[in-house]
Structure 1
Amino acid sequence: MITPRFSCTQNDTSVIVKVYCPSIRASEVEINVDGQLVVLHVQPYFLRLNFPHPVLEDGQSNAQYDPTSAYLTLTLTKESSGQFFEDLDLLSRLLAPRPTQGEQPPVIEVLDSQDTPSERREASLTSEQQEILQAASNDWQLPQTAPDSLPSLNLTSKKYYGFLDLYTGYFTNIKFSENEVNELNDVESCPLEDRRKLRLQHEEDKWDEEHYMADFADDTFIQELLSWQDDRAEDENSFSDEENMILLRLPRKECMLALFLLRNHLSHDCIDIFDPRQERNIYYNLAALLFAYAYDNRTTMHDPTPESAWTICSLIPAFSALDPPPYGSPDSPAPNITEAQAVSSPSFDETELAATLTQSYRRSLAFPLYRSFSLAEACRRDIAGILSKGKRAAIHRLLEMKHTLDHHEVYYIYSKIWIDDYCVWLQTSGSDEKLQEMAAALSRIKVTKDMIGWDLLELEAATQRSGGSTPDSDDDSDT
């Protein structure tokens, strides 16, 4: 079955769904409305929408098909007139299946031998067969739980990576792909602790004092980049038709967290302890992704070049070394947060956030063409501005990154294992409030030059003594 292209709008009394389904017979359209769930079926299209609030199929509801435009328009009455249906533009969220109700199959008791043959057959079913019968009446959504105490066994040398560590096998033939971003020798068997060591060593090898001092001494063009303003007139609260098509084509993974728990042999009972900390790391890594976007956006003045894909991937530790947050720092180690604190305090820890940005700063000073601490500071302010506008603004930027990477013959792989899932996750689980909270934290934190670990202050002082540069306001404050 094909999921058709669609869009949703609303007014005070109705929800309007426009579905693009060419070459159909209007007489064959089947529509079923069940509270929040609306199912449309017409060969070869199938669309199941789960709205945040109930709708009705009454006298005011109707369906009209325009064969000229090939759009089927459904008008569904709101159960509560005037109620606002949030996130109708987040199409992946509407496509998510209705949560299972957790109802148990009915208990069957044989009272006497006068039961009918069908009743006797039902009574003889195993508990598993009864569960399947119950699931069949509930959209075939079989309930699943991971074993509570399954031992952790490593039966393969492969390691997992990507969003929520859900991927493996994508770099099996890395030696033949000419991937200049990859910093790992054997990606598929390299554990996380070794990835971090290799990444840090690679950064040390690529660090070039003379390059940094040259950019500090002659910063004319960097000053132009610092003064550049991204003044695009765009609507952050809506997506274009092209963006909607991209979002609809994304793989829908409503059970990403469940997959993570299953792969790590964790029970769903652990979710209250596990989820806040893991979710916080997802937000931290989003800041790293947007830092890379902000750097490329500012250095190209929003006109991506053939080098943009390499620049973006090189600046993100989770891409180049499959090494996502959390990070520690010798100068500012991440605090030891207890499980109880992780659950009770959803706020972002500014030390952890600063440690995340420190990795991005280091890479921006070791790899790309323009290596300036002031430029890294400008990127931090840029991502704070993006996140302050909420998840739709973040999705816009991720879609730009996705477009850049998808058109590269090698680096498209990072779009598949990271950006696609981030776009889905932001639509279905991202929080505007948490993004704005992180934006406020990014505006407050201070990444100092001594946190980078490359004696930047001494190098700048030596450059100034040789008459190569005069300190600016940023240089005076970063001690």
Structure 2
Amino acid sequence: MITPAFELTQDPDFLTIKIRVPYAKASEFDIYFEGEDFKFYAKPYFLRLTLPGRIVEDGREKASYNTDEGTFTIQLPKEVPGQYFEGLDMLTSLLAPKKSRSAKPLVEEMAASAELSEENEEEFDWEMEQIPYEESIAPLQHPYGFGNLRSGVFQRLQDELSDVIDIKDPDQTPAEERRRKRLAAEAAKFEPDHYLADFFEDEAIKHLLKYKPWWIDAHKKMTALKGESHQEHDSSAFVVFSEEEREQMRKFTNKSYLLDKRSRHHVYLGLIDILLAYCYEICVNEGDKNVESSWNIRKLSATLCWLESFSSIHDVLVSFGRRVLCYPLYRHFGLVTRAFSDTVMILQLGKAAVLKCLLDIHKIFMESDPAYILNDLFITDYCIWIQKVKAKKLAALCESLQKTTLSKSHMGLELEELEAAAVLVQEEEKALKAAGTVSKQQLLCSESETSDSEESSSTSSSETEGSDSDEQESSTSEDGEINSFQGRLQEERTAPLIDCNGLRQGTGTSMEGGDGKSKVAFQSPTPPGKLVEELEMQIHSAMRLSEQPEGLATAGCISQEQEESPVPKPDRFSEDAAGKGNFLEVSPKPNPLLFLCSTNEDED
């Protein structure tokens, strides 16, 4: 708490206490007095005095507040009229708390002491340490506030106002250093991820941009009437003040502002900065007020937050744009341009519309603790000053604002490079996803083709194995004798087989059956040269058999009977490629004639 500047005077009947509390919230203050005790509280000021005489509350006490000077004047009746209080100029002794004259009881009831302690916790601690106020002798060189007319405010209120402004020790900080520190703080606060998230996922922001505050309809009506009559119309016809706003204006103290040319320039530019922040707040909250409204306005306005003094309209727009992209919840450049267009509409509507917005800001700050100090520094003076501004000057300010351009490259945050890089990353991710999908499809197709080929090959092999097994079973069931010699004869493919006509049935030759339709195909690994030699030897043997005596006629009869007997069923059947004819694969079987011929040759 801050001990305010105060002084005490007296007359025979009253003790007068004058307390200077500039920038205090005058609507909320407490005064307590009884006997020799006097206590005063108006945040952030606190004063406790031990008076040299007794005062009394009898209905004659009075209190008044001077808004221009920021002082409370309190008259308190003396308990004994005509009594003279000594030592009223001894301020240090008056600030000292009155010492307790009663000893603590040795025995006390615990329940009662517990209740008493709870009551004491709820009460204000009146026994805090106080430091006498001392006026600053050396004039401060770095003013601020409306028109740069204030100084020294934050010298003693810095602890209370640390949540209101960002600049530390503004009384000792030049304007150039404030600007340099502000730019550095904004650059450190900027988060590319947050900005890109709002840039790509902007559904909520598009919804907010559709909101239409009251000045849009008022501006449409004014534009329509201007188009019909081609005359200027008073903006009061489109801007209506509520009773609450009228009461606010009645509470203001009328004053005149002696501003030089440079100060007036700062005031106009500060007005644009404050209106931009207000338009952003109205847009993102869709006209509703919440606990963040005060923070949004003062945080986005460098005039309020950094006590900035701008030199051009372009600097104002750049500062506002940077702060929108660094601090609030929604950080989108579309909100910057929307606030810009709304501010132009408000200025075109005239000073009545500007005053209505300033009154709303004044109310928001008054309901926010400790942002009410900004009303004393800026907003109250703006509300009084704007009512005396000439309409032509406000129109010229609006025209200059319309001619000013603002782009992302002006922000100094490399927004366009960030967006281009983010778009490139998105395209690469899409390309990778597409390539991954194609490769996955190709992999699936190749796997399916491989599985199909494996299935077909397994099917064909199984069919082949099945057909071979079926043919072997049919061969075995039809001819038991062949089945007994089949394994050995297949291994010895070179063994000669002689039919009844004396021709060798070997591989690589064909033979017509008894009906002339069936064909027999043989396959043999025997080389062609050996086959010819074996064939010649068998022919010679057959010729010798024809010259044998009658004793061997039996063999010839047996051979003839075998020739006239029906042709046995072939061992294996399979269709040719065209499916027209049947090929026979005859398993080699022993020919009894072969053995007979061999026996006769031995006998010869």
In the superposition, the TM-score normalised over structure 2's length comes to 0.43
Match status 1:455 vs 2:393? no
The aligned amino acid for 1:183 is: D
How far did 1:158 drift?
A: 6.1
Name the counterpart of 2:292.
307
CA positional deviation for 1:164: 1.3
Counterpart for residue 347 of structure 2: 387
Q: 1:244 aligns with which of 231, 243, 246?
A: 246
Task: Give the aligned residue type for 1:299.
Answer: V
Q: Which residue pairs with 2:255 in the alignment?
A: 253
Mapped partners of 2:204, 2:396: distance in 1: 33
Matched, 1:370 2:353: no
CA contact (8 A) 1:390 1:433 kept: no
- Residue in 2 aligned with 1:437? 396
The aligned runs of 1:259-278 (5 Å cut-off) are: 274-275=260-261, 277-278=262-263
Q: 1:374 to 1:383 in 2, by over 3 A?
A: same
Count residues with an aligned counterpart.
272
Contact 1:291 1:380 in 2 (8 A): yes
Inter-CA distance 167–178: structure 2 relative to 1 (3 Å threshold) = closer
Contact map agreement 1:388 1:436 (CA 8 A) in 2? yes
1:359 aligns with 2:361: no
Structure number with bigger Rg: 2
Distance in 2 separating the partners of 1:282 and 1:157: 21
CA contact (8 A) 1:315 1:364 kept: yes
Query: What SS is found at the alignment partner of 1:161?
Result: coil
Residues 1:161 and 2:144 aligned together: yes
> 1:236: Cα distance to partner?
4.1
Taking CA–CA contacts closer than 8 Å with sequence separation of 6 or more, which of the two structures ends up with the larger relative contact order? Answer: 1
Partner of 2:385: 425
Q: 1:466 is paired with a residue of what secondary structure?
A: helix
Contact between 2:175 and 2:309, CA under 8 Å: does it hold in 1? no
Offset at residue 169 of structure 1 (A): 3.1
In the TM superposition, what is the alpha-carbon distance from 1:157 to its structure 2 partner? 4.2
Structure 2 counterpart of 1:443, one-letter code: Q
- Segments of 5+ residues of structure 1 without an aligned counterpart are 1-153, 261-273, 327-351, 469-479
Contact residue 308 and residue 404 of structure 1 kept, 8 A = yes
Question: Once the two structures are superposed, what CA deviation does each residue of 1:228-274 show, in whole Å capped at 9, x if it has no partner?
Answer: 212477764443332122112123221x21xx6xxxxxxxxxxxxx4
Deviations 1:403-424 (A, max 9, x none): 1011111111111110111111
CA contact (8 A) 2:362 2:379 kept: yes
8 Å CA contact 1:390–1:432 kept in 2: the answer is yes
Instruction: Give runs of aligned pairs for residues 58-77 of structure 1, distance below 5 A.
Output: none
Query: What does the per-residue CA deviation read over 1:60-103, in whole Å, with 9 as the maximum and x for residues that have no partner?
Result: xxxxxxxxxxxxxxxxxxxxxxxxxxxxxxxxxxxxxxxxxxxx
Q: Tell me the amino acid that sits aligned with residue 180 of structure 1.
A: D
2:264 paired residue among 255, 273, 279: 279
Question: Residues 172 and 396 of structure 1: is their aligned pair in 2 closer, same or farther, counting only changes over 3 Å?
Answer: same
1:160 Cα deviation after fit: 1.8
The residue correspondences of 1:33-432 to structure 2 (distance < 5 A) are: 155-157=138-140, 159-177=142-160, 179-231=162-214, 236-254=238-256, 256-257=257-258, 274-275=260-261, 277-326=262-311, 352-428=312-388, 430-432=389-391
Whether the 8 Å contact between 1:179 and 1:410 is mirrored in structure 2 is no
After superposition, the C-alpha distances for 1:373-431 in whole angstroms (9 at most, x for unaligned) are 11100110000000000000000001111110111111111111101111111112x12
Q: RMSD over aligned Cα, in angstroms?
A: 2.1
**Tell me, which stretches of 5 or more residues in structure 2 are unaligned?**
1-136, 219-236, 428-604
- Normalized against structure 1, the TM-score is what? 0.54
Runs of 4+ displaced beyond 6 Å? none
Identical residues among aligned pairs (%): 30
Q: Is this contact kept in 2: 1:398–1:423, CA < 8 A?
A: yes
Q: Is the 8 A contact 1:250 1:420 kept in 2?
A: yes
Contact 2:347 2:354 in 1 (8 A): yes
1-structure distance, mates of 2:211, 2:316? 25
Contact map agreement 1:243 1:399 (CA 8 A) in 2: yes
C-alpha change, 1:157 and 1:423, in structure 2 (3 Å) is closer
Amino acid of the residue matched to residue 247 of structure 2? M
- Counterparts of 1:175 and 1:395, CA distance in 2: 30
State which drifts further: 171-180 or 416-425.
171-180
Going from structure 1 to structure 2, the CA distance change for 1:456 and 1:311 (only over 3 Å counts) comes to same
